[in-house]
Structure 1
Amino acid sequence: MKKWLIGLTYAVFTILIIIPLIKMTTGAFSEGFSGLTNALIRPEALHALMMTGLIVVVVTCINTFFGVMMAIYLVRSDWLSNKVKGFLNSVVDLPYAVSPVIGGLMIVLLMGPESIMGAFFENIGFRVVYAFPGMIIATLFVTFPLMVREVMPVLQEIGSQQEEAASTLGAYRWRTFWKVTWPSIQWAVLYGVVLTVARSLGEFGAVLVVSGNIMNKTQTATTLVYQDVENFNVVAANSVALVLAATSVGLLLLMEWTKKRKGVS
């Protein structure tokens, strides 16, 4: 029975992952290496990849800072009541319960050109929706729980005794964090960073709604793949998707290495 289950697992893995990857790779090289190169050096492809990279960098930095801070507050803040902590935990988990498309629509309704907040930002020359800031907000909405949920269990496991001892000896909060807390959570933070990068890299639904998918302005790599498929530009779609897939494989290997380091520490 066990062998049958293992065989079924390998079969599903092959059908859902290996075969599509092989098909995508052969499709990207169907016109030779020059076809792949031409697809990737298109102005729209270069801009989309650059936009995706910028989103990944900005979202990862913001998510790391506020995610670690939120995790510390939820675990270490004794002055917060259980009801407040429960509410904050629900807010953190909201992206898990809401579709990214719905999340993107919520951002459009709150900060779109026809909303009060959106009109205010438009009047001061700061456009949110259908621009880079809206894409950052949409990706943050989707990825925010990842860092919090990686760091919180580690903080709960290590307890607060060492931090309290450092505070008793006169260490300031920042010194306590860097000398006591950070060494204990650094691998969990790195794992959260890898998850955030991977999720930001592949985000589609929320970004598609918020960005408007405007070529050479608000188009990311995933929305470019979507557009190429709609236009039956299969080679170009496979080429961009292959870059994203190769990056994801590299992130997967990094995640496994981080997981082992996290387990050791």
Structure 2
Amino acid sequence: MRAGIVILPEHRWSEARPRWQAAESYGFAHAWTYDHLGWRTLVDGPWFDAIPTLTSAALVTSTIRLGTYVASPNFRHPVTLARQLLTLDDVSNGRFTLGIGSGGGGIGGYDSVVLGNPEPTPKVRQARFEEFVELTDALLRNEITNYRGDFYAAVDARSAPGCVQQPRIPFLIAANGPKAMRLAARFGQAWVTTGGEADDYESWWRSIAGLVERFNELGADIDRFLSLDGPVFSLSSVAVFEDMAGRARELGFTDVITHWPRPDGVYAGREDVLERVAADVLPHL
């Protein structure tokens, strides 16, 4: 099993840079950042764009994989995004993974309304997501792409010089529902879930077991990622992280993802717990 960590894009680079370097030296296999214009309770605080952040991280690391967690159609267009991804893939020398999702809505769905558009219904959001993935896949594979759908279009969109990683940058597709899961099985090199809605620890794990059972029915031989931070923050203690990683392994997950501890609010925790997990747990995963 591999472990990854999310570093929220809320710090100026002078403070963020050592965190990305530490994630690599700690032994994490991959490091991620949120791809939002603003996020939930942190919407009024400092926030930086994911693509320049990851490009900067690529320049100060050498082995750790980097990725968006996750890019979405809420404010991205596949044609412009594809050019950014080609650049990131090149700068990182093939260490980039595109984490991609349908885009959040409802409470905390700042990205879905900040551009002044009406918030899409769940049905529209899923249909838009399918087009987004399909067109992004084509743009990263083909030299020239022409496409016209209900939500996106591309006219003679070029992709030279192409991806460092062939046939294209790998996709990590976020999916809980059946349609999104089928999309992950079709286009993804990995599937990621955050689990279902649950207020307590055991109910959350039961929801994950149900999602795994549903995904197993698709017969997709791809990596499986679990975001550990549900009702309980995985770095609240070393024992909690060990328990969560162990349960994830038993359910067949190949990778787990935690979040860098923050001093307060969401993902509040102590960095000494992160350091002890890195020293005592990661080497044995």
Task: Please give the range of the TM-score, normalised by the shorter of the 2 chains.
Answer: under 0.3
> TM-score when scaled to structure 2?
0.22
Which structure's residues are more often helix, by fraction? 1
> TM-score when scaled to structure 1?
0.23
